[in-house]
Amino acid sequence: MASKHNTIMKDIANKIGMSVVTVSKALRGHPDISHKTSQKIKTIAKEMGYLPNYLARNLSARNSNTIGVVVPKIAHYFFGSIIEHIYNKAFENEYEILLSVSRENAKNEIKHLQTLMSMKVDGIIISITQETSDFEIFEVVKQRGIPLLFMDRIPPISDVNTVAFNDRIGAFNAVEQMIKVGYVRIGHFAGMESINIGLQRYLGFEDAMNKYNIPINPDWVMKAGFGEDDGYNSFMKLYSDDNLPDAIFTVTYPVAIGIYKAVKELGLKIPEDIDVICFGDANMQKFLSPQLSCIGQPTEQIAELSMEILLDNIRKKQNGFSPRNKIIETDLILRETCINYKNRDRILNDVNDHNNKHNRIVKVQF
């Protein structure tokens, strides 16, 4: 056993013959203490290898300089990327992050939220699970006065901070793109409607189909989960029913990956036998064959905006703060699927129109 050399303020105080309070104040740069002694104390603290005990500090100071983050998954480009940016932002602002992963399980989610409250986090950013249907726990968090912000996946409750992508318009853009390329036999591998991103993306799909007067074939609308397996299974189902559409818009990129996997197994070809476009970008999509076109979600933007709003909420907590609801626009990223080179000029033209109308840059990457 190494002898635990754990310096506390008292040790420093004893060493220079002053009180603990003086040491505490000096270390924090409190104006009560003269510059001279303040410097002396800091020097000695460093010499003695003093490290503050945050548990004690936070218990009395009543804030923890810690932000809790709850996400459904982590080994996933979308969340991995967001979390990385949240960390960066937290680090800049001298906050620590307590990360919890609910694994798409509502029970875990509740438990994690309770733990975060017990840890006295200053605020919480959460992306709810696809099965969350009881929203009471969120009321509890609010009741306790802990700033709360929902990111990307948002429950239908009011008076809370939210930051989300414009799922409906994004989905609309994707499906409109499919239509412009000439598809009418269009399917949608959707998410559950109980969660905003599932519902909104479905509605965007519907909007586009309606706008162009294309009937929706319910057989081609598969409402399942957000994972690779869901895409794989849905595709296999349609294939074995011998009822494939010409092109599919998927609710997330893992679902599209599931299709790629199934297609490979079945010896089919993308885009010849089946074309695909998805909601959500990931690094790997550039290396797929063919490269997957998608709706890009600026992860850095959602992470930064979420942190900014939450930090603002934390600072203004005492003097009142009204919830904010932000929507972030998405990008249409065209690569090698759902793109017909013969129509290139027409597409570029349409994209310009769209940009003018929505005051938004749609990226086209041929």
**Which residues would be at the binding site for DNA (CB under 7 A)?**
6, 8-10, 17-22, 24-25, 27-28, 31-34, 36-38, 50, 52-53, 56-57, 59-62
> Which does residue 108 touch among a second copy, DNA, none (CB within 5 to 8 A, set by kind)?
a second copy
With beta carbons less than 8 A apart as the criterion, state whether 47 and 15 touch: no
State which of residues 21, 119, 157, 327 lies at the interface with a second copy (CB under 8 A): 119
Residues in the chain: 366
Residue 58: CB atoms within 10 Å:
17
Residue 253: CB atoms within 10 Å:
26
Phi and psi at 88, nearest 5°, equal: -55, -50
State which of residues 15, 42, 142, 326 lies at the interface with a second copy (CB under 8 A): 142
CB of 280 to a second copy, least distance (A): 14
| Contacts of a second copy in 159-198 (CB under 8 A) | none
Rounded CA gap, 250 and 267, in Å?
Answer: 20
For DNA, the closer CB: 48 or 216:
48
Binding mask 237-276 for a second copy (x = CB under 8 A): --------------------x--xx---------------
Q: Is cis: bond before 271, omega within 30 of 0?
A: yes
CB of 35 to DNA, least distance (A): 7
301 belongs to the binding site for a second copy (CB under 8 A)? no
3-state secondary structure labels for all residues of 242-293: CCCCCEEEECCHHHHHHHHHHHHHHCCCCCCCCEEEEECCCHHHHHCCCCCC
329 belongs to the binding site for a second copy (CB under 8 A)? no
- Among 79, 158, 89, 173, CA closest to 126: 79
CB of 37 to DNA, least distance (A): 4
52 belongs to the binding site for a second copy (CB under 8 A)? yes
CB of 64 to DNA, least distance (A): 12
The residue range among 23-31, 164-172, 184-192, 278-286 that interacts with a second copy, by the rule CB under 8 A, is 278-286
Residue 236 CB partners (closer than 8 Å, separation 6+): 262
Residue 318 CB partners (closer than 8 Å, separation 6+): none
> Which does residue 161 touch among DNA, a second copy, none (CB within 5 to 8 A, set by kind)?
none
158 belongs to the binding site for a second copy (CB under 8 A)? no
For DNA, the closer CB: 57 or 73:
57
The residue range among 16-24, 79-87, 147-155, 215-223 that interacts with a second copy, by the rule CB under 8 A, is 79-87
335 belongs to the binding site for a second copy (CB under 8 A)? no
CB of 11 to a second copy, least distance (A): 14
Q: Is cis: bond before 290, omega within 30 of 0?
A: yes
Binding mask 1-20 for a second copy (x = CB under 8 A): xx-xxx--------------
Q: Which amino acid is it at 343? A: N
State which of residues 108, 217, 340, 343 lies at the interface with a second copy (CB under 8 A): 108
Rounded CA gap, 290 and 287, in Å?
Answer: 8
Q: Which amino acid is it at 52? A: P
Tokens linked to 66 = 């810690």
State which of residues 14, 19, 53, 349 lies at the interface with a second copy (CB under 8 A): 53
The site for a second copy (CB under 8 A) is made up of: 1-2, 4-6, 49, 51-56, 58-59, 64, 73-77, 80-81, 83-84, 87-88, 91, 96-101, 103, 108, 114-115, 117-120, 140, 142-145, 257, 260-261, 283-284, 286-289, 318, 320
